[in-house]
Chain A
């Protein structure tokens, strides 16, 4: 097969794109395997050093914070619980509210939809004081419920589910009705399986959204046992080193690499569904 010049150019562009994405991550990873002194004196590294196990072990298990009790491992668990809770509830609530908006043709469906849509203009950061007030009055500060609950309503996901449900032909619903499906079984037996690629996509977006929350957990948590990874990132960068101690640059890189793993895992795991949905056109 003859290779055309256009193809070569296309490949060069693609390879450049890949390098742009991968090189910073590789540098972070390579740098995280040296000791801090080397990096401070010689700059960032492109090759793997000999301090890999030590650095990662230290980052994961060293106790920190004011009480010297919280570890990075605990923060990973917290972030994971928070992101998982937010993503799961967001998907469930959005899918159900979209179902109600599309299939129950009550008079106010359209105004209600726009009302939900308008909340896009009021992100959490804008309404953070009222939100904090409500959550604190409910006594939910320093709890997973408090971390998750204010973030579970999603206009974006509702909108995407609504658009998807609208493409499902009416005959499917009618046929299911004649087959004895009720409102609940139509949702579970039809809409959920038909939108599973959609659900996977939304879950990934919402997981990353939940995982990268910073301001809300910062305000919500006073107890260190509820600290999240993103908060920890700030702590590890601003920790005070008195006297002769050096900034722990290598550990910072290790921490960054570790903090990327959960979202990457979610994407890798759910990608299967994506590809499946792309290959089989089921409509």
Chain B
């Protein structure tokens, strides 16, 4: 049994809404697990069930070999960082950090030492006497983390903690969280709807949709090998291009071109997925793109345009290539990196 074990966990709210469907998942000790999915997909509910803030309708949650379904949140030995930080507004930073320790009846000297150690680690030693209202967004974020770290919990739970920060600070804090987690080595679960955050932070990633884990794996596995239409569309920026198609006798006819000898026995209606970065310009091309718009990011260019049948399409090329608006590009799929999904079920078929 692994460190944290969820077995067929289901959450049904009193009004009948099913937020989480029979989800099973295990997290190893020291692992950084990320739940990613669109808003309302049940990822936060799942996290809150681990924390004990939501009742579990069905299923079991085991933490460190102990069933915690009925254990009070305060006795689960978990720490949580909330989206709005939930710092205690009337206490200074020191007391914010010390409060959880005081409730455990730890003596004053030990508390002081622990708080000071955590403050040093997070570089908030200078603000210990300040109230949260006198801190900037990034500092508040650090205090919220400090409050989690200082208790030395079995597991850290992060509920979209970066979404209140501006873009630059978010990237900085993202790196700090990752570094900190590696340094402290505590098992962590991080919930986010931002796929870049998810990719960069995770040891393993759970893509959740409609209360179901669509795919579980390392970020690269999920990026390279999406198992469903949803995962393929959700992970990767800019989004994967999808084209309607049909397979007959191992030949896929998509909108305006054909691919022969595909590696699938499936027959029927499909969706063909091609990532914008898996395309290149060449002579004997499959796809003709009429360019509408070019976004120059410096390192890369994002080329948006339309296929012959007016379908929107995106192509990503190195930033040193100049591409004119309204020009026509002939594109090829690199190394046969394309994905085919059953149109009716959304499952991958190649």
Contacts and interface: CB of A to CB of B under 8 A. Distances in A.
Interface in B33-81: 51-53, 72-74, 78-80
Given A171-B84, A282-B90, A179 B131 contact: no
A175 interface: yes
Nearest to B74: A180
Contacts of B196: none
B320 interface: no
B89 interface: yes
A172 B73 contact: no
Contacts of B78: 178
A118 B89 CA distance: 34
B91 to A, nearest CB: 8
Given A169-B84, A174-B53, A174-B82, A181 B74 contact: yes
A234 interface: no
B104 A180 contact: yes
B147 to A, nearest CB: 8
Contacts of B257: none
Contact of A178 (B51, B90, B131, B133): B51
Contacts, number: 64
A178 B73 contact: yes
Q: How large is the interface on B (under 10, 10 to 19, 20 to 34, 35 or more residues)?
A: 20 to 34
B89 A177 contact: no
Contacts of A283: 89
Nearest to B159: A171
A145 interface: no
Interface residues of A, number: 21
B138 interface: no
Contacts of A169: 84, 86
Interface of B: 51-53, 72-74, 78-80, 82-84, 86, 88-90, 99-100, 103-104, 131, 133, 147, 151
The list of the 6 closest CB pairs from A to B, nearest first, reads: A180-B103, A179-B100, A171-B86, A175-B86, A180-B74, A193-B90
Interface of A: 169, 171-172, 174-182, 185, 189-190, 193-194, 280-283
Given A175-B86, A181-B99, A281-B133, 11 more contacts: A174-B73, A175-B88, A178-B78, A178-B79, A178-B80, A179-B151, A180-B103, A181-B103, A182-B74, A194-B89, A194-B90
23 contacts: A169-B84, A171-B82, A171-B84, A171-B86, A174-B53, A175-B88, A177-B52, A178-B51, A178-B73, A178-B100, A179-B99, A179-B100, A179-B147, A179-B151, A180-B74, A180-B100, A182-B74, A190-B90, A193-B90, A194-B89, A282-B89, A282-B90, A283-B89
